Amino acid sequence: MAPTATTPNAWALHSVTQPDNVVELRPSGPLDSSTARFLAARLDALVHSGHDQIVLDLRYVDRLDAVGMAPVRRTAALLDATGGQLTIRERSGEVAEPIVDAA
């Protein structure tokens, strides 16, 4: 049997809790309609377990669409309403402004 290779667009989500209890999520691969539900489930679990400071590091995301951003916007709005914050680290590695739903 030949070994199987991991495709370059394989989805992965790594989670790191910083010393100040900020959770950093690092998805890699596509963040789109095929993977958004996985990110949504992880964000929901974090919020329900009491985490209110989340950093989403998008440096390793190779494809991003509106469906992929939907759970991010939903979680950002929820955290904003309860005094928390979701911040995105952009592909450049710099931290962007916290996301707040303007709707």
Q: What are the tens digits of pLDDT across the range 33-65?
A: 999 999 999 999 999 999 999 999 998 998 889
* Residue 29 pLDDT greater than 60, yes or no: yes
**What is the average per-residue pLDDT within 12-21?**
86
User: pLDDT for 79-100, tens place per residue?
Assistant: 999 999 999 987 655 555 555 5
The pTM assigned to this predicted structure is: 0.78
Domains located in the chain, CATH noted: 12-89 (3.30.750.24)
State how far the Cα of 1 lies from the Cα of 35, in Å rounded to an integer.
29
